[in-house]
């Protein structure tokens, strides 16, 4: 396993061994694996995780930042001889001479792995929090159909699939002799909303154009389904 050598002004202070599956925390406070008592060092400054066969340094949004080979990093895969600067101290990352380094292994870079959720959130820092919030509140933009004719109000397209047609089981019921039981469906896809014609003599129109199969919906599109008319908008 690789070792970390802590130095201050060219004097070696301590040597730490990095062990697989264990995080090495670095900071000013006592609960860190590597404690550096210096005011330039944040309480919980950075950490090193063993991920797959490699080791990942993550800056824990420290006040003065973490540097690897004099470059500011938020996260960095450690390599033989990397010099990590924390405040005025330096940690040198090195493998034992005979030890197999991850880069020498066959295609280890391609090995798929799953990130521990906590590690991931911390690694992404604020962006990660944003992501978590987006996920939690399902803030995916929602499409809305507003009636322009043939009805009142608006329909939020929260469903993955919304059916429009004569059938009472449709989310939006539109009557008419030529109307299919399900005439039109609107799908919510990763890229956005898509409208498809399904069956019946009445084909839908989007901005006056007859839809024979399917079209992607854009903000402010006007949709005709028989006697009903809608406007599509994305609620952001």
Residues that bind another protein (CB under 8 A): 51, 54, 75, 77, 106-107, 109-115, 117, 120, 124, 127, 130-131, 158-161, 182, 185, 187-191, 194, 196-199, 213-214
**Three-point CA angle 27, 46, 108, nearest 5°:** 140
> Considering only CA atoms, which of 140, 142, 175 is closest in space to residue 157?
142
Q: Give the nearer residue to another protein in terms of CB position, either 193 or 230.
A: 193
Q: Give the nearer residue to another protein in terms of CB position, either 63 or 108.
A: 108
Which residues lie below 8 Å from residue 235, measured CB to CB, with a gap of 6+? Answer: 141, 142, 143, 144, 156
CB of 15 to another protein, least distance (A): 27
Rounded to whole angstroms, how far apart are CA atoms 22 and 12?
A: 23
Q: Give the nearer residue to another protein in terms of CB position, either 40 or 142.
A: 142
Rounded to whole angstroms, how far apart are CA atoms 73 and 59?
A: 7
Report CA 82 to chain centroid distance, whole Å.
29
CB of 41 to another protein, least distance (A): 25
3-state secondary structure 62-80: CCCCEEECCEEECEEECCC
Q: Give the nearer residue to another protein in terms of CB position, either 96 or 103.
A: 103
CB of 23 to another protein, least distance (A): 16
Rounded to whole angstroms, how far apart are CA atoms 28 and 63?
A: 12
Q: Give the nearer residue to another protein in terms of CB position, either 39 or 210.
A: 210
CB of 10 to another protein, least distance (A): 32
CB of 217 to another protein, least distance (A): 13
CB of 114 to another protein, least distance (A): 5
DSSP 8-state symbol, 98 = T
Query: Which three-class secondary structure state does DSSP give residue 159?
Result: coil
């Amino acid at each position: 396993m690789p070792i970390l050598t802590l130095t201050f002004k060219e004097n070696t202070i301590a040597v730490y061994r990095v062990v697989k599956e264990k995080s090495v925390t670095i900071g000013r406070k006592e609960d860190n694996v590597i404690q550096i008592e210096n005011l330039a060092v944040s309480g919980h400054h950075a950490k090193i995780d063993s991920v797959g066969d490699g080791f990942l340094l993550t800056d824990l949004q420290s006040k003065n930042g973490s540097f690897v080979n004099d470059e500011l990093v938020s996260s960095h895969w450690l390599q033989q001889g990397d010099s990590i600067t924390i405040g005025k101290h330096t940690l040198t990352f090195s493998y034992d001479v005979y030890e197999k380094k991850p880069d020498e292994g066959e295609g280890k870079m391609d090995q798929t792995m799953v990130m521990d959720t906590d590690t991931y959130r911390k690694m992404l820092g604020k962006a990660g929090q944003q992501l978590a919030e987006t996920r939690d509140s399902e803030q995916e933009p929602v499409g809305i159909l507003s009636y322009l004719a043939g009805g009142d109000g608006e329909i939020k397209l929260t469903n993955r699939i919304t059916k429009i047609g004569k059938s009472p089981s449709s989310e939006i019921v539109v009557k008419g002799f030529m109307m299919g039981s399900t005439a039109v469906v609107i799908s919510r896809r990763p890229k956005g909303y898509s409208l498809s014609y399904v069956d019946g003599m009445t084909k839908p129109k989007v901005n006056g154009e007859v839809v024979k199969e399917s079209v992607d919906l854009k903000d402010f599109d006007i949709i005709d389904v028989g006697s009903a008319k809608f406007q599509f908008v994305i609620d952001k």
